[in-house]
Amino acid sequence: MAAPTYTTTQSEQAVAEPARVGIAEASAWWYDWVNLHRVGAAAIVGVIATQIATYFGYVFPAIGLPTVPWPLFNGVLGAPVEDFGTPASYFVGQSIHFVNGVIFTILYAVLALHVLPFRNTHGGNIMKGILYSVVLTIISLGLLVPYAYVPKQGYGLFTFYGPDGWKLPMAVLLWHVIWGFFIGVLYQLRAPRRA
């Protein structure tokens, strides 16, 4: 007795086989999710962009620039002097660093995104993120680094007089540009897709 043969329709095959999701579908899903959860998405994007940029900040010596250890710098500001270099100092610095990254990303999403030049396209949004990061670099190098992280050490405005000369300002700029690039890539508002 021969075994019965069955034929399947295309809809049955679609149910039987798992759906394959490509990069286009995943990015469309992400941008739709960002549209629906704008502040939450900004917070998540802030964590992701801050982590990626922080990694690069630690490996800048590979390209001849000084390390930009923002968690260490923030630990100096947030922990008592006697705790410098301890796990407590690192935890405080890391916490301040990520809170800064999330807050500045939310500020970007709420205040800056709509007033920055460039159109609401993929490339335009990346340029918005980079432009925003350059503004933050100017604030960081003009005030934060010379007057909060290394006060009274002669680094001067924009830290050009520090021991690394032009390299520290370049490293801080590159760190912020990496952060801004990922802000621009990941936080893009799109018109919702129609079903």
Task: Residue 1: count other Cβ atoms within 10 Å of its Cβ.
Answer: 3
Residues with Cβ within 8 Å of 28's Cβ and at least 6 positions away in sequence, in order, are 193
In tens, the pLDDT along 86-140 reads 888 888 889 999 999 999 999 999 999 999 999 888 899 999 999 999 999 999 8
Q: What is the pLDDT of residues 132-175, one digit of tens each?
A: 999 999 998 888 777 777 667 767 676 767 777 888 889 999 99
Phi, psi torsion values for 38, nearest 5 degrees: -65, -45
The count of residues in the chain is 195
The rounded distance, in Å, linking the Cα atoms of 159 and 155 is: 5
For the four alpha carbons of 75, 141, 143 and 179, in that order, the dihedral sign comes to negative
pTM, to two decimals: 0.80
Neighbours of 180 (CB within 10 A): 27
